[in-house]
Structure 1
């Protein structure tokens, strides 16, 4: 299964949830992250259940602070 994450193609052996994908991609707890799938924001409470599909376009946005 191929998913595009932040404009880069990534291969996964099987379907996975957003939470599973983040665990693989970030190697740490997903704090301060917003996730959009096919241009729709997915709330953090839905990450455990939202299954990604082949061809999905995922955008990961990390909050930063400063000024």
Structure 2
């Protein structure tokens, strides 16, 4: 004999009530002397990598829209 389980047929909806409270904005501290390092990602790809071939193929596609 097997026992069959079923899900409840009614759906209970809950109403969320938000209390209006005065919250002050929270700001994260930051340092204005932070350094930003910029680097070219192409410097990380070897000269004989397949991604360079794919890049050349995509760049050779005409960008103009023909109507």
Q: Identify whether the pair has TM-score above 0.5, normalized to the shorter chain.
A: no
Q: Which has the higher strand share?
A: 1
Greater Cα radius of gyration, structure 1 or 2: 2
**TM-score, normalised by the number of residues in structure 1:** 0.20
**TM-score, normalised by the number of residues in structure 2:** 0.20
